[in-house]
Amino acid sequence: MCLMEQDDEVIMSNPYYACYPNFVKYSGGKPVYVHTHEAIGFSMEPEAVAGAITSRTKAIMINSPCNPPDM
């Protein structure tokens, strides 16, 4: 919350733990999703993260160990 200003963006993986977008929204921010896939262990690919970054990006949420857990 100390990092966020109104309408700042936070990049996070999708799928995600259900509470994460609400934490960002409660702080005045906007969640931006990077889709992940089981085939690569639900990791965010660098190219996808780079493509999601805008001038409003304030943070990238990295959850490790992740949810969903590695298969």
Place of tokens 């001038």: 55
pTM, entire model: 0.85
Dihedral of alpha carbons 41, 14, 62, 22, sign? negative
Start-end of H helices in 1-71: 19-26, 46-52
Q: Which residue, among 53, 69, 54, has the nearest Cα to 15 in the 3D structure? A: 69
Distance CA 40, CA 53 (A): 21
pLDDT digits (tens, 9 = 90+) for 11-28: 999 988 889 999 999 999
Whole-number pLDDT of residue 43: 87
Task: Tokens for 56, please give them.
Answer: 């409003």
Res 33 pLDDT > 60: yes
What size, in residues, is the chain? 71
